[in-house]
Structure 1
Amino acid sequence: MLSELLQGTDTGGFLIVQDNISHSGRPLLKSFISAALNRDEDVHVLAFEASEEELKDGLQGLPCQRLHIHNAYIDPLGWTAHPAFTVQQFCFEELTQLAKQTSQPKPATLVIDSLSWILRHLNPPHVCKTLQQLRKGGAVRAIIGLLHADMHQRGTVGSICHLATSVIAVSPGMKADEAVAKTTKRAKSGKVTQDEEIFRINEDLTVVVLNKTSHPGPKQTDQEEPEMDPTANLTFNLRLSDTEREAKEKLALPFVFSKEKKMALLQSGPGSGRILYEPDANDDYDQEDPDDDLDV
């Protein structure tokens, strides 16, 4: 999948190279710049964290006249009288005008080095809004940004990556010249594809994918162990035999009345009596106020 993304077949895509302190993603970012120049595309680079000399290192022999580096490395906050590019210019209108300053009529590729520097000086909603407007505006063919994931809160990283069509998280490999790329690609249909590859970057910034990492699944035992019976070692029996179950069903419970017993209790026979009450004169009973004798 890494080789496919380097070919740049997706128009209107937003790719994030996500790194951390253990491994830098800038070499891979420069590989994407080299691949775009080899396709005769105009590339605009917003350089906040690396100098122009560092970004051009390794790009010798390529059509660098199509490479436009907007140097925000020297004066990113505009403290001098005539800054080349500042973080305040990171808005849809300024970037659209900047991307149109090319010799070719087709849209250019915008490379941001890095999104982390911009997020430190602009609020995340403004950055997300600008990126989304650039994607939908048609001024640039694609956006490629470098993001240092360990510099921001998880919510900020999630918001930026949610806008991206592809995220490449790089980490160090087993050898010094190798790295691991965990790629997540989201298609227009909503389908998400993930891949993990080991790669190496040559001196000419070409990427060589060595192999895909394998993730062994959980071990499966050849023979399943039989389930243990929790009642096996008890000193008493929890199960009933057929004879015991039949005797239990015939047992009459004391609180359950049979039909014959109910009829015998409800019928009045010889010797049954009634209780009659006749109030006497001392019973001060007022039918209109039965509670008249109470001191309330």
Structure 2
Amino acid sequence: MLGNAPSFTMLSELLQGTDVGGFLLIQDSCSYSGRHLLKSFIDAALNREEVVHVLGLDVSEEELKEGLKSFVFQRLHFHDAYADPLGWTDNSPFTVHQFSSSRLTELLKQTAPSKPATLVIDSLSWVLRHISPTAVCHTLQQLKKGGAVRTIIGLLHEDMHSRGIVGSVCRLATSVITVEPGTKGEEALAKITKRSKSGKVTQDEQIFSIRKDLTVTVLSKPTNPGHKRSTTEEQVDPTANLTFNLRLTDAEREAKEKLALPFVFSKEKKTALLHSGPGSGKILYEPDASDDYDQEDPDDDLDV
């Protein structure tokens, strides 16, 4: 849920659930957890009276529901893969190896067969540690096209995977929110990348905070956003600190232009070379009888 934001922002747009049929990825690291923001998205979906299914792999059902209003629990369905994620017992409600489009579609349709539901994966990192990235991306793609899912929201711990795996999942997502710690108290920084259906990519950075009731307040934009820093770096003069001068003064440039280069012929020299005068010689060759000269094949006498 969104608090009193100073203006309409990209983060508020995503919290309002406008990305229907998309895949929203929240990317965090050990420096800042993205689970509070994930719960804010769950709270916002429940307040819109959506049916929400949560695949719980990282935390228990009690921890996930902490902070949520109890009257919305009837629309929240928690599939517990936290207690026994690998299915070592026979009574595990859900295991990581059941992460497939057919199994997940079956789970979603058990509670709301006629209404697409919001699927929350907490977290994709647990799934990626036990299933190949190719299979995970294929399942996510099938869920987006299947019609049983309104929106997919996933949490990914960036520092648990290689850059290639993280990049593959991010390219599949329609929106990526990377969260980092802020400079003050409970503030955090959200770096947002959104891809439209036409292929247009929009990026933004916003400072936000989350209250105990899971309300998100967008505070401002960072004073030195990353794209501005990169622009400044591109404008640095690489010749500023050299021990020699690469530039010419006006006098040096004028002297350079007047210099006659050895391989540039003057008009008089070109005329003398092209038009032979008296006393110039020519080489004439008259083959004698012993020369085996073939007019059609002049190189016939060569041993090649």
Range class of TM-score, shorter chain? 0.7 to 0.9
Question: 1:20/1:259 Cα in 2 relative to 1: closer, same or farther (>3 Å)?
Answer: same
Return the index of the structure with the highest Cα Rg: 1
1:240 to 246, 258, 264: 258
1:163-184 deviations in whole A, cap 9, x for unaligned?
A: 1110000000011201000111
State the match for 1:179 in structure 2: 188
Q: Distance in 1 between matches of 2:123 and 2:214?
A: 19
1:218 pairs with 2:247: no
1:276, CA displacement in angstroms? 9.9
Residue 258 of structure 2 aligns with an amino acid whose one-letter code is L
List alignment gaps of at least 5 residues for structure 2: 1-9, 293-304
Q: How many residue pairs are counted as aligned between the two chains?
A: 265
Residue 170 of structure 1 aligns with an amino acid whose one-letter code is V
1:29, CA displacement in angstroms? 0.3
Q: Look up the SS of the partner of 1:203 in the other structure.
A: coil
Question: 1:286/1:183 Cα in 2 relative to 1: closer, same or farther (>3 Å)?
Answer: closer
Question: 1:11/1:80 Cα in 2 relative to 1: closer, same or farther (>3 Å)?
Answer: same
Structure 1 segments (4+ residues) deviating >4 Å: 231-234, 274-279
Q: Distance in 1 between matches of 2:63 and 2:285?
A: 113
CA contact (8 A) 1:198 1:212 kept: yes
Residue 81 of structure 2 aligns with an amino acid whose one-letter code is A
Q: Distance in 2 between matches of 1:286 and 1:159?
A: 76
TM normalised by structure 1 equals 0.79
Residue 199 of structure 1 aligns with an amino acid whose one-letter code is F
TM normalised by structure 2 equals 0.77
1:28-79 deviations in whole A, cap 9, x for unaligned?
A: 0000010011011111000001111110100034411111111110000000
List alignment gaps of at least 5 residues for structure 1: 243-247, 269-273, 280-284, 288-296
Q: Distance in 2 between matches of 1:102 and 1:276?
A: 106
Q: Which structure 2 residues correspond to residues 157-172 of structure 1 after superposition, within 5 A?
A: 157-172=166-181
1:73-110 deviations in whole A, cap 9, x for unaligned?
A: 00000001211110111001110010012257311100
Moved more, 45-54 or 99-108: 99-108
CA contact (8 A) 1:47 1:70 kept: yes
Question: 1:151/1:265 Cα in 2 relative to 1: closer, same or farther (>3 Å)?
Answer: same
Q: Distance in 2 between matches of 1:5 and 1:88?
A: 30
State the match for 2:107 in structure 1: 98
1:230 to 248, 263, 268: 248
Q: Distance in 1 between matches of 2:50 and 2:58?
A: 23
Q: Look up the SS of the partner of 1:205 in the other structure.
A: coil
Q: Percent identity?
A: 57
State the match for 1:257 in structure 2: 273
CA contact (8 A) 1:37 1:62 kept: no
Q: Look up the SS of the partner of 1:183 in the other structure.
A: strand
